[in-house]
Amino acid sequence: MNDAARNRAIDAPVVVEVGLGDRGYDILIGPGLLDRAGEEIAQRLPGTRAAIVTDENVATAHLATLQAGLDRGGVASTIITLPPGEKTKSFAHLQDVVDGILAARLERRDSVVALGGGVVGDLAGFAAGIVRRGMNFVQMPTSLLAQVDSSVGGKTGINSPRGKNLVGVFHQPKLVLADTDVLDTLPLREFRAGYAEVAKYGLIDRPDFFVWLEKNWRDVFAGGAARIEAIAQSCRAKADVVARDEFELGDRALLNLGHTFGHALEGAVQYDGARLVHGEGVAIGMALAHRFSARMNLASPDDAARVEAHLQAVGLPWRMADIPGELPGAEALLDFITQDKKVSRGTLTFILTHGVGQAFVAKDVPASEVLAFLKESHPA
Ligand code: GLY
C-alpha cells in the first residue's frame, strides 16, 4: 500500500445506511470529505453536474475546498450563494435558488449540493424537490446539528410568515457527506447546541448511548474518534426512525423530544439567537419533558435530575432561568405551545418519557397540567 492509499484507509469514513429501498442512501462521516466529494458523488451519480447552494459564511470557509474536490472527481459545478440566517428560508430566496439552477441549465439527473447548516440544507433540498419535478440532491452539512439531524431523513422546506417550516416536501438526498473536519472551526456555543440533538437520541431510545455520552462527552467536544462515533451513532438512530416512519405517521414524532417546550421558548424570545438558539431550546425542552414526566408520575425524578446534570455538565442551558432576560408568563408560554398545535378538548400531544431512553408519544396531556408545570418551573 503506498502512502496515499494508506492515508485513505486510515481516513476511511464511517458509512451509515438509510434503509429506504429504492430511495435508500449512504451517510458518510469522517474527515476530508470535502476533498473527496467529487469522487464519492461521481461513483454514485455518474455524469451528474452540480449546483452548489451555500451561504456567504460557509462559502468563505469551505467553498474553494469543495469546488476543488468536485473538479478532481470530474463533477462540473455552478455556485449559488445566499445570505446566512433563518430569514433566508423564504419564498424569495427559494426563487433565487430555482432561478440559479435553471439558468445553469441543469437537468433532473444533475444534483443540487447543499453545503451549509440546516437553513441551506432545508432550502436547497426543497428546490431540488420541485425543480423539474425532482432533481438529485446531496447534503454536505457543515454544522453539528445538520450532521446529526437535519441533513438526514428528507425533510425540506422554508418558513412562511405564519410559522416555521410550513412549506416544503419530503425529498430524500442521494448521499450525505458529513465532513467532520469542518466542525473544528465551529464556535463552542454552536457545537454545544448541536450536541443537544446528539444527547436526544440517547434519551429517546438508546440508553446505552446516553451512558456512553455521560462518560465520553469531553472527547466528543475535543474531536477525533469519539466525535465521529457520536455522529455515527446519532445518524444510525435517526436512520432507524426514518426507515420505520419516513412520513411521520407515528414513531418519527419521537424525534421531537424537547421540541414542544423548546419551540415555545424560541417563540417567547422572538427567535432572538443572542438569547436562545434552537439546540439550546431543545436542551431546556428535554430537561422540562423529563421533569414534567416525573411530575405526571410517568418517570422517576432521578431520571430528570440525571438529564439536567448532564446538560449542565456540558454547559448547555437546562432550565428557563438560564435564558437571559425576562420571559413571558406561564399562560403566554402555554399559548406559544398551543399556537401551532391542535388542542383537542383541552389536551395536547407531547413526547414524554418513562425514563432515560424510554420516550413515547403522549396524546392526551391535559393543558391544565402543562400550565401548572410551567408556573412551577417559571423563573419569575
Ligand atoms: N428533525 C426531525 C425530523 O427529521 O423528523
User: Is the CATH number 1.10.620.20 carried by domain 3-186?
Assistant: no
- 116 CA to middle of ligand 1, Å? 17
* 8 A C-beta contact, residue 228 and residue 30: yes
Q: Is 57 buried (19+), middle (13-18) or exposed (0-12) by CB count in 10 A?
A: middle
* 8 A C-beta contact, residue 192 and residue 277: no
For the CA of 153, the nearest atom of ligand 1: 4
Instruction: Round to whole Å and give the CA distance between 86 and 104.
Output: 26
Residue positions annotated with a catalytic role: 133, 155, 197, 238, 248, 252, 256, 259, 263, 278
For the CA of 241, the nearest atom of ligand 1: 5
- 5 CA to middle of ligand 1, Å? 37
DSSP state of 155: B
Q: Position 179: which residue type?
A: D
Identify the pLDDT of residue 158. Answer: 97
H-type alpha helices, 148-224: 188-205, 207-222
Percent share of the chain, pLDDT over 90 = 91
* 8 A C-beta contact, residue 256 and residue 361: no
- 154 CA to middle of ligand 1, Å? 9
For the CA of 253, the nearest atom of ligand 1: 5
* 8 A C-beta contact, residue 171 and residue 20: no
Measured CA distances, 275 to 119, 270, 284, 286 (Å): 19, 9, 13, 18
- Each domain of the chain, given as residue ranges in start order, spans 3-186, 197-377
Residues of the chain falling short of pLDDT 50: 1
pTM score: 0.94
Which of 143, 147, 256 is the best mutation target for the ligand 1 pocket, counting ligand atoms within 8 Å of the beta carbon and taking the most?
Answer: 256
Give the residue, by CA position, lying nearest to ligand 1 atom 2: 255
* Residue 118 in contact with ligand 1 by CB distance below 6 A: no
Give the residue carrying C-alpha cell 431520571: 303
- 247 CA to middle of ligand 1, Å? 10
Q: Is 154 helix (H, G, I), strand (E, B) or coil?
A: coil
* Residue 255 in contact with ligand 1 by CB distance below 6 A: yes
Instruction: Round to whole Å and give the CA distance between 155 and 300.
Output: 34
For 352-363, write each residue's pLDDT tens digit: 999 999 999 999
For 182-213, write each residue's pLDDT tens digit: 999 999 999 999 999 999 999 999 999 999 99
Look at the domain 197-377 and name its fold.
Answer: Dehydroquinate synthase-like, alpha domain (1.20.1090)
Identify the pLDDT of residue 380. Answer: 83
